[in-house]
Amino acid sequence: MSKLFKLFSVSGKKSSKEDGVSMAKDNQDASESTGRRSSTSSKSSAKSAKSAKSNTKKSRHSNTGLKDASKVGKIVDTRTENERMIEEYFAVLNSHPSADEIVKHFTSSEAPVLFEDSNGMNAMVMATEMQKMYAGFNDFRFNYASIKEIKPGVVLVDDVNVTGTHTGPYQFANFPPVEATQKHVVLDDERLWYYVKDGKIAKLELTALGNLTGPPGLYISVGGKMDMPAGE
């Protein structure tokens, strides 16, 4: 109709025939314009649909990739039975078990526990001494660098150390107990050899790699004095 108005404004009056031709042309132009808009809209819708489909496809590929990635690098347990047993034993020690629960992992309560530079003890004496350490250090734990069966039946636990916070009285042997200091202690490293027989510990040998290790190291670290005879 804007075109029709333009014609009237320029020429003044038009004949009926001319009016009819002009109106027909305007209708045709309007139809073509509508068709073009419809076509453009259809193409746009098709493009949007294609884009959505493409995104969905990419999303599926992405999810599949994540699933596939989860299958890659699957951890294979290469530990020996004896290595697993000793690792589980350390987990038990760090849970602060009773003396009897500790001894269950040895062939007997008399199984030897030998120190390189001092007198040894048996498994039950060691387990009883552990109870004092658990009571005096509420977060007492063993840490280690590696567990390796170096030959059949012999498992080496390397760079073992003890950490803990002195939260309760701690006494070593017959020396005077040291009241809680709240001091966090990190002892020197040790090297431990476990001799395993039929899934149990038949013997334990320990070598200190520093000066402060074992129960004496704990006692000295929290201020205990061992420069006088025990019991005095």
Which residue ranges make up each domain of the chain?
Answer: 2-71, 81-221
DSSP assignment string, 34-59: HHHHHHHHHHHHHHHHHHHHHHHHHH
Residue 117 DSSP one-character state? T
**What amino acid occupies position 174?**
N
Q: pLDDT > 70: what percent of the chain? A: 66
pTM > 0.85: no
Q: Answer whether 88's CB lies under 8 Å from 125's CB.
A: no
What is the pLDDT, as a whole number, of residue 214?
A: 94
pLDDT of residue 229: 60
| pLDDT given at position 69 | 44
Burial 94-124 (b: 16+ CB within 10 A, else e): eebbebeebbebbbebebebebeeeeebbbb
227 or 129, higher pLDDT: 129
Would the pLDDT of 24 be above 60? no
- Please give the CATH topology (third level) of the domain spanning 81-221: Nuclear Transport Factor 2; Chain: A, (3.10.450)
Q: Which position has the higher pLDDT, 91 or 71? A: 91
Check residue 209 and give its pLDDT: 96
Range among 4-13, 62-71, 175-184 with highest mean pLDDT value = 175-184
Q: Which residues contact 217 (CB under 8 A, 6 or more apart)?
A: 162, 187, 188, 211
